[in-house]
Amino acid sequence: MSLPDAPEPAAPGWPDLGYVLRENAPLIARNTFAVPARAELLADVRNLLGLESLLAAPWLAGMPMLVLGGGSNLLLVDDVPGLVLSLALTGIRITEEDEARVRVVAEAGERWDELVRWTVARGLYGLENLALIPGSVGASPIQNIGAYGVEVAEHIAWVEAFDREGGCLRRLDARACGFAYRDSRFRREAGQWIVLRVAFDLARGGTLRLDYAGVREELAAMGIERPRPSHVAEAISRIRARRLPLPDLLGNAGSFFKNPEVPEALAEALAQGHPGMPSWPAAAGQRKLSAAWLIEQAGWRGHREGPVGVSAQHALVLVNHGGATGAQVLALARKVAASVQERFGVTLEPEPILVGARW
């Protein structure tokens, strides 16, 4: 997915501030749901000097700010007041290495899948199960992205971010990031942090995680007997392309709901009535259920209401068939969640960040 509306160079005769500022800027091309919304102010930042200059501007004091990466982890329900900040900082490099481990540092504006491809091309283990996830590197720790049995938090060494409250640059190790399931300190303290770069600790060898449904079968279909990280990334990319609608073709933000965690007693009661219900161990006294299974059992897979719907490929994905607003997507999401609550007594929560509304 290409970056839309890349910042223009400074006009001849004008100083290069390191950012470009626009008023009343359209955001429809900057969110993978492809819903219409406008930013009161939009700043495309090219470098750290540009970011420092922008954040020091007196007119920014007290103004609300939304940091926008690839636009794949949010739903714009309304126009966005204040400043929308888009970081175009790019670059991937190795900063430390030995015979077993490699530390890779990536700038926030890099596309996530480009980072995965960069690492597996060098034979590094760790990120291969996270192939083809849309969005930017900067968004990955905020959402603690995960797929096929891996969470990015497992491989993050540190996150460098600008602390708006403290007015300084801070480097937070993985423990300080407060990672949880599809969550982090950066998400819980939205508005305080601007993620600038992320360091990943990867391995030169190890055991690949192949037990997630379909991965071994895909590798066998590819004729791979001794897989390497690049093979796993390719297999998972093929599976995702079949199972999930591509945002370039059909507006969506990937999985819309988190897999809910419920008390073991409720999980056992549901399993008695639904023997095929998938579940996994979670925190003490809890089990994790499949949101996709719950939604499909409630009859929503392939459902459509005008321009919005639930994907026929995967019940966990809400889609914009064309012309939908963020409010219409949210209305359908609330119907789906209410239906699951009524039928199973299980509460669903959205995975994308809602901008302009509360769940």
- For residue 351, indicate whether it is catalytic: yes
- For residue 189, indicate whether it is catalytic: no
Q: How many CA atoms lie within 13 A of 57 on its CB side?
A: 14
Distances (CA, A) of 257 to 158, 202, 261, 313: 27, 29, 12, 15
Which of 30, 117, 182, 185 is the catalytic position? 182
- For residue 107, indicate whether it is catalytic: no
Cβ atoms of 69 and 135 closer than 8 Å: yes
Do the bridges between strand 92-97 and strand 101-107 make them parallel or antiparallel, or are there none, so unpaired? antiparallel
Cβ atoms of 261 and 283 closer than 8 Å: yes
| Strand order from edge to edge, sheet including 308-310 | 251-255, 317-320, 308-310, 304-305
Longest dimension (CA), the chain: 73
Question: For residue 216, which phi and psi values (nearest 5 degrees)?
Answer: -60, -40
Distance CA 336, CA 298 (A): 8
Unique residue bearing structure tokens 């938090």? 153
Which of 107, 128, 218, 351 is the catalytic position? 351
Which of 72, 255, 279, 311 is the catalytic position? 255
Total residues belonging to the chain: 359
**Among the residues of 145-273, which ranges form H helices?**
185-188, 215-221, 229-243, 264-273
Strands (E), 18-155: 19-26, 38-45, 65-68, 74-76, 80-87, 92-97, 101-107, 146-147, 150-151
Classify burial at 280, counting beta carbons within 10 Å of its beta carbon; exposed 0-12, middle 13-18, buried 19 or more.
exposed
Distance CA 158, CA 166 (A): 19
Unique residue bearing structure tokens 């297999």? 235
The four Cα atoms 163, 169, 174, 180 give a dihedral, to 10 degrees, of: 20
Q: Which residue numbers are catalytic? A: 182, 255, 351
